[in-house]
Amino acid sequence: MNMLNTLIFVGTEGIYHDHEGNGKYLTAMLNETNDIKADFSRDYNVLADGLDAYQAVLFYTDVGELTSEQETGLLNYIKSGGGFFGLHTAAASFRESEGYHGMLKGFFNGHSPYMDFTVNVSDADHPISQGLDDYEVKDELYYLKHNPDTSHHLMHAYDHTKDETHVMAFHHTYGKGRVFYFALGHDMVVLENPSFQEVIRRGVLWVGNRL
């Protein structure tokens, strides 16, 4: 089978994460995965007219702005069958871009203190989560503005600081394209977690129609 060409797109406008360093780490990790060839980019212009070279794109972004051409290019890419993987702060990005958030179906609404918590598998039969055990992480537990009826949930976590349970991973389709969102990803502590890495690999393969 041909390699799955994947773009790791990083926006660095946020100040609380090492998006560039973390993004390059994820790119290297994915390039060690069978059947995945990953490129790293911070060039927003690729969104307007450079996505056709890829079957999947992973967004590790924060804040930022999309021009109408960039947003349209991205959304048309997904509608026509391209895969989209939004990671962590992708839900806090491009806050004025209604089309982007309509595609992602999740919007950042705060997070817990940086802490240890358990990620529970909601659907053990999906290719992304199949055979994956519940796992412990140290991260920010994200809260999202999200209508659960619009997506299929794969993982969740209980926040003891609020006595609330929140979705950690979900997917849906947008046009012909697959969309997957994964809420973890604050820093290298979680990026080095083997379960986190497995979800990243499977998520990319799934949105790229390889799982």
Enumerate the β-bridge partners of residue 101: none
pLDDT band, very low/low/confident/very high, at 14 (cuts 50, 70, 90): low
pLDDT band, very low/low/confident/very high, at 1 (cuts 50, 70, 90): low
The string of pLDDT tens digits covering residues 50-75 is 999 999 999 999 889 999 999 999 99
CATH class of 4-107+167-207: alpha beta
In whole angstroms, how far apart are CA 82 and each of 58, 69, 113, 122, 150? 11, 17, 35, 26, 19
User: Which pLDDT score is estimated for 193?
Assistant: 97
Q: Which amino acid is at 189?
A: V
CA separation for the pair 211, 205 (Å, rounded): 6
The string of pLDDT tens digits covering residues 98-108 is 999 999 999 99
pTM of the model: 0.97
CA separation for the pair 178, 114 (Å, rounded): 30
In whole angstroms, how far apart are CA 35 and each of 7, 50, 58, 87, 111? 14, 21, 16, 21, 34
